[in-house]
Amino acid sequence: MGYYIGYDRGVKKVQTKTATISSFAECAAAGYPVVESYPRRCRTPDGSNFIEEMIDESPPGRDGAACTMDAKICPDGTSVGRIPPNCDFAPCPNEPTL
């Protein structure tokens, strides 16, 4: 009994209703641990897991296009990269466009 009393004094009991938590934001705001992963996760003491919703932050008009990082060397010695969405090379400076 003495061991139990000593142990009980050092434990902080948290009385929170986890049934009212229904999202990652609510879970994190309640102070539950957040796992720094991608996407982040929050877990309540009753074992419920909430995953942070990711928002697409790509610039408008990109449509998620990604081009290779190669370059074209222009006649004047400068270089140009590819431009989404078709990933064609950008025109060289002082080069007529078709």
pLDDT of residue 55: 77
| Residue-wise pLDDT tens digits, 33-64 | 999 888 899 999 998 999 998 876 655 555 56
| Judgement on whether residues 40 and 70 belong to the same structural domain of the protein | no
Q: How many domains does the chain have?
A: 2
Q: List the domain range (segments joined by +) for residue 8.
A: 2-51
| Judgement on whether residues 42 and 62 belong to the same structural domain of the protein | no
Residue 87 has pLDDT above 60, yes or no: yes
pLDDT of residue 95: 74
Cross-sheet strand order for the sheet of 49-51: 34-35, 41-43, 49-51
> What SS3 string covers the chain?
CHHHHHHHHHCCCCCCCHHHCCCHHHHHHCCCCEECCCCCEEECCCCCEEECCCCCCCCCCCCCCCCCCCCEECCCCCEECEECCCCEECCCCCCCCC
Give the percent of the chain with pLDDT over 90: 37
| Judgement on whether residues 47 and 64 belong to the same structural domain of the protein | no
Residue 96 has pLDDT above 90, yes or no: no
